Amino acid sequence: MELNKLQCQIFKTTYNPQQLRTGSKILRAPLKGQTLANYYGPSDFPTVSKLINAWETEEFRIVDEDEEYRLERVEDLKRRGKGAPKKKREAPKAKGKKK
């Protein structure tokens, strides 16, 4: 027991005589946040819509095929009555105890 305590002092480890789980292995590991952030790249990377807004003029029109397909599909669903319901315009009435 004393040898274990002395060993922990010399090698700068935590003294844990009951061998309980402390989570020190996880706490000693290097942080992964910056590595993950670098993996996904910068957040200000230009998207298709940003490029379209920057380059589109009256003579030069850029077509986003995915967006065109989505709009056609939404229009088709609405025509068949399968589209999303319209949003409510008025606030719901207060529910309370009837007097």
* Chain segment 43-99, per-residue pLDDT in tens: 788 888 888 888 888 888 888 899 999 999 999 999 999 988 888 888 777 777 765
> Would residue 59 count as lying in a domain?
yes
Give the up-direction half-sphere exposure of residue 82: CA atoms within 13 A in the CB hemisphere: 6
Expressed as residue numbers, the domain containing 53 is: 48-79
Give me the long-range contacts of 42-50 (CB less than 8 A, separation at least 24).
none
Q: How confident is the model at residue 56, as a pLDDT?
A: 84
d(CA 78, CA 72): 10
> Would residue 52 count as lying in a domain?
yes
> Would residue 93 count as lying in a domain?
no
Confidence of residue 3 (pLDDT cuts 50, 70, 90): very high
DSSP count for the chain of H helices, then E strands = 5, 0
Domain count, the chain: 1
> Would residue 65 count as lying in a domain?
yes
Residue 6 confidence (pLDDT) above 90 = yes
Q: How confident is the model at residue 9, as a pLDDT?
A: 93
CB proximity list for 17: less than 8 A, separation 6 or greater? 1, 4, 5
d(CA 8, CA 19): 13
d(CA 88, CA 34): 43
> Would residue 58 count as lying in a domain?
yes
> Would residue 84 count as lying in a domain?
no
Q: Is this model's pTM higher than 0.75 or not?
A: no
> Would residue 33 count as lying in a domain?
no
